[in-house]
Structure 1
């Protein structure tokens, strides 16, 4: 099969348009059209339905697009491995993690990584959906549970717990609860239990809400919940890794917390020798060590409980 025709087919299927594919490939629309016709003739099938608004893949076209998409991912992997054979750490690194961890812990620390490797290009993808690493939706992931996908190298980085925090000014006004039942007198700020989140966090929120909380604010990520807490709106259920960077937070009901949540770094087996991933992994591990040391200095009681 003609590899050049497959490359052009993949571009057309991805763009849904001969014109847009031609622009991406620096070819005329007529040249792209000829290549697609030639491919259809060689396969004795129709790959696209032609419509005024664009092109739609036929069933046979979908099958071929699945194959070319897999080929493209494998080529991306090969390209990355070839580049990583150089001594320098450079090029694109696609990192995925949750919105809360990526926004509140990882992103503020990335300047140190860029200082060391200024030619690195990081694509940070923050979402609760678990991306498919073996299919190269991302190069490396930091996840709040052990990955279940096969062919992944995984390393446990640390553990965290969901705890309750508030501003001292808020607690001075509204009172400091001494028993869990007293949470009903406060506004609780948390993620909705039906939202994508770690199971331990949802279980803690369910327990708290069983005490007839009178006022509630639910946010679909911990960044938003933190902003509400920092503005004195109530008591928030937040991950404990925040306490280093937001030392003004006061822990509420120290005996109440979620089950332990493991944090894992994972990447595909085929990227085992990637210098970019090694640089990122070492950076994250060093930052976690620094994080723990600072936490011990700032809040020795909480650091001891977390260890």
Structure 2
């Protein structure tokens, strides 16, 4: 059925008069009458009894008025929620990022986001594949390189460095390497050189493997690498932010560093006004600012 005709029918049924409905809808009485007749013809029924005091709904008209009343209530509720959303954040937000960053940095910080926005529903997609944001495979992405698509809004968040870490227990048992050549006496834990990872991390892994490591543990994501390190299996290649969040990690060979890996947050231009994305973006930026302050405090305390 034509919604315009239903809208006019509802106004007439509510007002009980073609004239009053026309005034409300800013339509002439004849235009309103034509739309009602057309609706009755399409439904092959009579919707109103006409008499000198106005219009009275027929039984069929009552059924249709019940349906349009329910529709109007739902539309009014939706409009109210849209207006409220200028101040409130709710609904589903699909976020994609890498397994390592998502599991090691983002997820541990989500309780603060949910505490602030309890009605937010996050669908977190952790995978190395770059999802297509303009095609709405996700709403917002955190990526380890600058997005190349022109129709995305992007914000540089931070720079990540891949470095070497071990536990003190491991170093006490097997010794602390002083040079790269000393790594030949240790087990390296890293992502496999054939698995997807940032280019800077891959180059670092390839350079370390050139030292002819006798023992390796390769995992296809940094979460697995971290678990290997925490279980004292060897020296792992990990993003530097892990050291600030996971107690007990000791940096090994401070001169070994991947260099900067930029981290970007991106979302489609069409979602510029989304309150959910704005809330998530601001939350991530606040958490990064807090992380930086804590890192500076830790660095100052260790000097």
TM-score by length of 1: 0.70
Tell me which residue corresponds to 1:227: 227
Tell me which residue corresponds to 1:195: 195
Q: Can you give the 5+ residue segments of structure 1 that lack an aligned partner in the other structure? A: 1-78
Q: Check 1:271–1:84 CA distance in 2 against 1; reply closer, same or farther (3 A cut).
A: farther
Deviations 1:210-260 (A, max 9, x none): 001010000000000000000000000000010111131000000111021
Q: Distance in 1 between matches of 2:90 and 2:299?
A: 38
Tell me which residue corresponds to 1:58: none
Q: Cα offset for 1:88?
A: 1.2
Q: Cα offset for 1:149?
A: 1.6
Q: Can you give the 5+ residue segments of structure 2 that lack an aligned partner in the other structure? A: 1-78
Tell me which residue corresponds to 2:179: 179
Q: Distance in 2 between matches of 1:173 and 1:297?
A: 30
Q: Distance in 2 between matches of 1:250 and 1:257?
A: 14
Tell me which residue corresponds to 1:21: none
Between structure 1 and structure 2, the one with the greater Rg is: 2
Misfit runs of 4+, over 6 Å: none
Tell me which residue corresponds to 1:267: 267
Tell me which residue corresponds to 1:9: none
Q: Distance in 1 between matches of 2:121 and 2:263?
A: 24
Tell me which residue corresponds to 1:137: 137
Residues 2-17 of structure 1 mapped to structure 2, 5 A cutoff? none
Residues 79-90 of structure 1 mapped to structure 2, 5 A cutoff? 86-90=86-90
Q: Cα offset for 1:281?
A: 0.4
Q: Distance in 2 between matches of 1:270 and 1:257?
A: 38
Q: Name the SS of the counterpart of 2:193 in structure 1.
A: coil
Q: Distance in 2 between matches of 1:163 and 1:216?
A: 17
8 A contact 1:102–1:126 mirrored in 2: yes
8 A contact 1:84–1:275 mirrored in 2: no
Tell me which residue corresponds to 2:9: none
Q: Cα offset for 1:84?
A: 8.5
Q: Name the SS of the counterpart of 1:296 in structure 2.
A: helix
Q: Cα offset for 1:298?
A: 2.1
Q: Distance in 1 between matches of 2:95 and 2:83?
A: 18
Q: Distance in 2 between matches of 1:187 and 1:286?
A: 37
Residues 112-261 of structure 1 mapped to structure 2, 5 A cutoff? 112-261=112-261
Q: Name the SS of the counterpart of 2:228 in structure 1.
A: helix
Residues 9-48 of structure 1 mapped to structure 2, 5 A cutoff? none
Q: Distance in 2 between matches of 1:301 and 1:292?
A: 14
Tell me which residue corresponds to 2:278: 278
Q: Name the SS of the counterpart of 1:270 in structure 2.
A: helix
Q: Cα offset for 1:82?
A: 5.8
8 A contact 1:84–1:276 mirrored in 2: no
Q: Check 1:246–1:201 CA distance in 2 against 1; reply closer, same or farther (3 A cut).
A: same
Q: Name the SS of the counterpart of 1:134 in structure 2.
A: coil
Residues 82-121 of structure 1 mapped to structure 2, 5 A cutoff? 86-121=86-121
Q: Distance in 1 between matches of 2:225 and 2:290?
A: 25
8 A contact 1:84–1:274 mirrored in 2: no
Q: Distance in 1 between matches of 2:262 and 2:89?
A: 29
